[in-house]
Amino acid sequence: MRSESRFRPLKIGDILAIILFLFFAFFLPRKHGEKVIISVDKTNDFVYSLDQDKEIIVKGKLGEAKVKIKDGRVRILNSPCPLKICENKGWISKKGDFIICVPNRIIIKIEGKTYDAVTE
Amino acid sequence: MQSLNKIAYISIFTAASISLFVVESLFPTPIPGIRLGLANIFILLALIFLGLKEAIFIGIFKSILGSLILARLFTPSFIFSISGTLVSTCIMWAVIKSRLPFSLLGISILGAETHIITQLFLAISIFLPGISLFYISPIYILSSLITGSVVGILTYFIYSKTKRRNKFCVD
């Protein structure tokens, strides 16, 4: 039989684990993206710079979705999909962020300027 | 008598973890894929009182029967559930065996984190290739830190209560 005290809460390992995962959750460096990739049906179709003010019509599988780029951010303005999850995701701006519209087969992804072998 | 005792505990733990799994899946969550993971309480207790083999058995049966009840057997969510359970059970067993200074709180947090990281890894490598793992993980890591602590504290309460009354006499 093991002693009960072995599992008594808050040992040094617990605190280290909590600090480690809090660090991962909050302090992972996230840079602002440089360009946005809009792909329909898993093929990279359009690459836009984030520095512009533009509205794009993307033809997906269900119909046309309106994508807006402004102030270095992207969002889907309206989409023909039933649940509107992609519209509710709102603005994205950080490198690695994405909006996915499953019924309409649209993936909007933000990437940095240069390929970084360490972080990718 | 000893093995009968063990079989009884395995079946009680399996039944308890299946019912918790099913009940907590019925509650809506703000972010898809986040659950409290109460079934982990009994996998953790099984790891302490019974052993790795029995805990893996309980985890596999929890995933299969729970998914069967919720009508999502062999769907992606079933694959996520069973693989996350297997990996986190092995990690928690390794931490318990290694005698590192972790309490039940830390063991449960590590289990929850490996569970969600396995699921994220699978989701990205199978369904969303090309998206870097680290960019979507923060919210999931934070939420499993919270759910893992809740589960760990609950497990500690159950563990100390049953230990005091000498309920589990398997060893």
Question: In one letter, which amino acid is B16?
Answer: A
Residue A98 sits in a domain whose CATH number is: 2.60.320.10
Q: Do B110 and A8 touch (CB under 8 A)?
A: no
pTM of the model: 0.70
**What pLDDT does B155 receive?**
92
- Give the span between the Cα atoms of B143 and B66, in whole angstroms: 22
Interface contact flag, B100 A96, Cβ < 8 Å: no
Cβ–Cβ below 8 Å for B109 and A18: yes
Q: Which of B102, B135, B163 sits opposite A11 (nearest CB)?
A: B102
Contacts of A97 in chain B (CB under 8 A): 135
Write out the H or E segment, with its range, that includes residue A46: strand A43-49
A:B CB pairs within 8 Å: 83
At residue B14, the pLDDT reads: 94
Partner-chain residue, chosen from B106, B130, B132, that has the shortest CB–CB distance to A13: B106
DSSP β-bridge partners for residue A69: A54, A74
Q: Would you call B135 an interface residue with chain A, using a CB distance cutoff of 8 Å?
A: yes
* Residue B49 lies inside a defined structural domain of this protein: yes
Count Cβ atoms below 10 Å from residue A110 Cβ, excluding itself: 24
Count CB atoms within 10 A of the CB of residue B37.
Answer: 24
Contact between residue A98 and residue A107 where contact means Cβ atoms under 8 Å apart: yes
The angle formed by the CA atoms of residues B162, B21 and B168, to the nearest 5 degrees, is 20
Residue A52 falls inside a structural domain: yes
Entry field: residues in chain B: 171
pLDDT at B45: 92
Q: Three-state SS for B141?
A: helix
Confidence at residue B58, expressed as pLDDT on a 0 to 100 scale? 95
Q: What is the pLDDT of residue A120?
A: 40
Residues of A in contact with B163 (CB under 8 A): 4
What is the number of structural domains in chain B? 1
In this structure, are residues A110 and A97 in contact, taking their beta carbons and an 8 Å threshold? yes
Q: Which residues of chain B are modeled with pLDDT < 70?
A: 1, 128-136, 164-171
Tell me what the mean pLDDT of segment A20-28 comes to: 81
Q: What is the pLDDT of residues A41-52, one digit of tens each?
A: 877 678 888 888
Q: Over chain A, what is the mean pLDDT?
A: 80
Report the pLDDT value the prediction gives residue B169, as an integer from 0 to 100: 52
| Total domains in the fold of chain A | 1
pLDDT at residue B64, as a whole number: 94
Q: Which of B102, B132, B159 sits opposite A14 (nearest CB)?
A: B102
List, for residues A104-113, the tens digit of each pLDDT value: 888 888 877 6
pLDDT of residue A118 exceeding 60: no
A16 domain residue, yes or no: no
Output the domain CATH number for residue B79. Answer: 1.10.1760.20
Residue B171: per-residue pLDDT: 46
> For residue B171, is it within any domain?
no
Mutate to test the interface with A, among B114, B134, B136, B153 (most CBs of A within 10 A): B134
Q: Which chain B residues are Cβ-neighbours of A30 within 8 angstroms?
A: 135
pLDDT at B16: 94
What's the confidence (pLDDT) of residue B57? 93
Q: Do B132 and A96 touch (CB under 8 A)?
A: yes
Range(s) of the domain holding residue B155? 2-164
Looking at the domain assignment, is residue B157 inside a domain?
A: yes
- The string of DSSP letters for B49-112 reads HT-HHHHHHHHHHHHHHHHHHTT-TTSHHHHHHHHHHHHHHHHHHHHHHHT-S--HHHHHHHHH
Within-domain flag for A68 = yes
Task: Specify the pLDDT at position A1.
Answer: 44
State the first-to-last Cα distance of chain A, in angstroms, to the nearest integer. Answer: 47
Let me know if residue B20 belongs to a domain.
yes
User: CA-CA distance, B96 to B155, in Å (whole number)?
Assistant: 14
Beta carbons of B103 and A96 less than 8 Å apart:
no
Cβ separation of B100 and A13 shorter than 8 Å?
yes
Min CA distance, B119 vs chain A (Å)? 17
Could you count the other beta carbons within 10 Å of the beta carbon of residue B112?
28
Q: Please tell me if residue B152 touches chain A, with a CB cutoff of 8 Å.
A: yes
In a domain, residue B59? The reply is: yes
Q: Which residues span the domain enclosing A80?
A: 35-111
A31-83: pLDDT as tens digits? 677 888 888 887 767 888 888 888 888 888 888 888 999 888 888 988 888 88
Query: For B33, left (φ over 0), alpha (ψ -120 to 50), or beta?
Result: left
Task: Tell which B residues from 53 to 92 touch A, by Cβ distance under 8 Å.
Answer: none
Residue B169 belongs to some domain of the structure: no
Least CB–CB distance from A21: residue in B105, B141, B156: B141
Count how many residues are written for chain A.
120
pLDDT tier at A116, thresholds 50, 70, 90: very low
